[in-house]
Amino acid sequence: QVTLRESGPALVKPTQTLTLTCSFSGFSLNTSGMCVNWIRQPPGKALEWLARIDWDDDKYYSTSLETRLTISKDTSNNQVVLTMTNMDPVDTATYYCARTGTISGVVTGWFDPWGQGILVTVSS
């Protein structure tokens, strides 16, 4: 069974750096084609894809946020870390991690499954 779980602070101050950890089980980021994504959702709003890291350490970022985002992986501990610098109240959202899997070694593209999410509030 594949599971993912997000962890990190519930509250950060403006200008601070947010660090979130996605801990997963049931798959390995050493497996060809496996990827982990970060996606966020402001309260009552739509989903926004933020970043993805692949089994081969390729990394992809949202065009609008790439200067503020860094994604990394700790394969031995089955964790993926996202940092977002210079946090602002508009960054208040539930942050999810989600797997992108593989079929016959080819990256699929959709997100399944998702973690439960973590609500991060940016406020002084």
Partner 1 sequence: EIVMTQSPATLSVSPGERATLSCRASQSVSSNLAWYQQKPGQAPRLLIYDASTRATGIPARFSGSGSATEFTLTISSLQSEDFAVYFCQHYIKWPPWTFGQGTKVEIK
Q: Applying CB under 8 A, which residues contact partner 1?
A: 45-49, 52, 60-63, 96, 98, 108-117
Looking at beta carbons only, is 87 or 97 nearer to partner 1?
A: 97
> Rounded distance, CA 104 to CA 61, Å?
25
Of 16 and 114, which CB lies nearer to partner 1 in the complex structure? 114
Following CA atoms 71, 72, 77, 79 in sequence, which dihedral angle do they give, to the nearest 10 degrees? 10
Shortest reach from residue 114's CB to partner 1, in Å: 4
DSSP state of 10: S
Rounded to a whole number of angstroms, the minimum distance from the CB of residue 96 to partner 1 is 6
